[in-house]
């Protein structure tokens, strides 16, 4: 008789916080009851037994929402249950990382032994280019005078780490040009020279939306069209007398975080495109030949610094 009374009391206590079967688990109590205080727990233990108290407390904890991970820099020490991770989760969550020592890989959170990171080997850089403009120029023309080029960084053979996770790869450019504008006095040319800068979208993080950067696991390719093309054409009344543009590329093992030009890095030789076209002020309406010298093709075996 005593056993049946204890069981009935325990079942009644359990119903204080159990939500209806068709409801979403959440903080829910009977209208006349809130979360159990220590005094209520002691009182329930004396009348219904330890099993009932454990069951009530367990149901109360199970109804709480899981807590997500804190933002970087604000994470505090918490148990697996508090962090929303089930005990015995298999496999444990993996974290990809690249170290300054040139190794990249995954490590398991918790007490699992970290996997040996992959060695980041020396990549290969291949450059190809050609002239893509006309052979003649005139003041009355609308000329797209420029080049086409590709610079492809190929990851080291045998690596499984994606190229964009293994390396920081970026392109730098400088140029000099001389041109005759429509308002030039006696067809006197103007000259412009710009210093070395990181070139447009050709750096991490790599924006692939406009097709100028192409990447897959094995490679990162910069597809560029330097020169006077698109909205930079030599339009009616303008004459391009001389144009020289230089490129170089830098590679390092990925440092992580925001991209910077911080050392250490490997630097390629400079590749130079040139265009010349001689204007005759005595015969301004005449056409003239365009002499173009593209930089050509080149392959480097990159030697990454430590």
Lowest-pLDDT choice from 5-9, 14-18, 213-217: 14-18
> Would you state the structure tokens that stand for residue 306, as one six-digit string?
């430590």
Residue 229: the pLDDT is 85
Q: Are 162 and 254 in contact (CB under 8 A)?
A: no
- State whether residue 62 is helix, strand or coil: helix
Give me the half-sphere count of Cα atoms (radius 13 Å) on the Cβ side of residue 223: 10
Q: Are 239 and 279 in contact (CB under 8 A)?
A: yes
Measured CA to CA, the distance from residue 138 to residue 136 in angstroms comes to 7
Residue 278: the pLDDT is 97
The per-residue pLDDT for range 77-127, each reduced to its tens digit, is 223 333 232 223 323 333 344 544 466 654 444 445 557 789 999 999 999
Lowest-pLDDT choice from 19-28, 146-155, 259-268: 19-28
The per-residue pLDDT for range 224-244, each reduced to its tens digit, is 999 998 778 899 999 999 999
Residue 87: the pLDDT is 28
The per-residue pLDDT for range 49-81, each reduced to its tens digit, is 554 444 544 444 443 332 221 223 322 322 333
Q: Are 150 and 224 in contact (CB under 8 A)?
A: yes
Section 24-37 average pLDDT = 41
Of 178, 202, 211, 285, the C-alpha closest to 250 is 202
Residue 116: the pLDDT is 79
In terms of DSSP bridges, do strands 288-289 and 219-224 run parallel, antiparallel, or are they unpaired? unpaired
Residue 114: the pLDDT is 59
Question: At a CB cut-off of 8 Å and minimum separation 6, what does 149 contact?
Answer: 127, 128, 129, 130, 224, 225, 226, 247, 294, 295
The per-residue pLDDT for range 197-227, each reduced to its tens digit, is 999 999 999 999 999 999 999 999 999 999 9
The per-residue pLDDT for range 119-169, each reduced to its tens digit, is 999 999 999 999 999 999 999 989 999 999 999 999 999 999 999 999 999
pTM > 0.85: no
Give me the half-sphere count of Cα atoms (radius 13 Å) on the Cβ side of residue 183: 0
Residue 37: the pLDDT is 53
């Amino acid at each position: 008789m005593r056993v049946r009374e204890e069981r009935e009391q325990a079942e009644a206590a359990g119903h204080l916080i159990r939500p209806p079967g068709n409801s979403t688990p959440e903080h829910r109590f009977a209208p006349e009851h809130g979360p159990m205080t220590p005094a209520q727990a002691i009182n329930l233990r004396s009348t219904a037994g330890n099993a009932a108290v454990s069951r009530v407390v367990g149901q109360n904890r199970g109804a709480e929402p899981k807590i997500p991970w804190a933002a970087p820099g604000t994470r505090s020490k918490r148990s697996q249950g508090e962090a929303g991770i089930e005990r015995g989760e298999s496999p444990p969550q993996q974290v990809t990382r690249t170290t300054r020592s040139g190794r990249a890989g995954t490590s398991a959170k918790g007490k699992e032994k970290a996997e040996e990171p992959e060695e980041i080997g020396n990549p290969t850089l291949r450059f190809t280019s050609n002239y893509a403009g006309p052979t003649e120029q005139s003041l009355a023309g609308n000329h797209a005078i420029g080049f086409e080029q590709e610079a492809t960084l190929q990851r080291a053979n045998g690596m499984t780490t994606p190229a964009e996770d293994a390396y920081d790869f970026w392109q730098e450019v400088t140029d000099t040009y001389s041109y005759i504008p429509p308002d030039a006095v006696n067809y006197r040319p103007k000259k412009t020279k710009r210093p070395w800068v990181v070139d447009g979208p050709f750096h991490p993080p790599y924006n692939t939306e406009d097709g100028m950067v192409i990447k897959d696991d094995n490679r990162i390719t910069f597809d560029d069209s330097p020169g006077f093309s698109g909205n930079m054409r030599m339009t009616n009344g303008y004459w391009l007398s001389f144009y020289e543009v230089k490129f170089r590329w830098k590679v390092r093992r990925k440092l992580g975080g925001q991209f910077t030009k911080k050392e250490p890095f490997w630097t390629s030789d400079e590749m130079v495109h040139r265009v010349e076209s001689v204007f005759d002020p005595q015969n301004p309406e005449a056409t003239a030949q365009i002499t173009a010298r593209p930089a050509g093709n080149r392959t480097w075996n990159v030697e990454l610094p430590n």
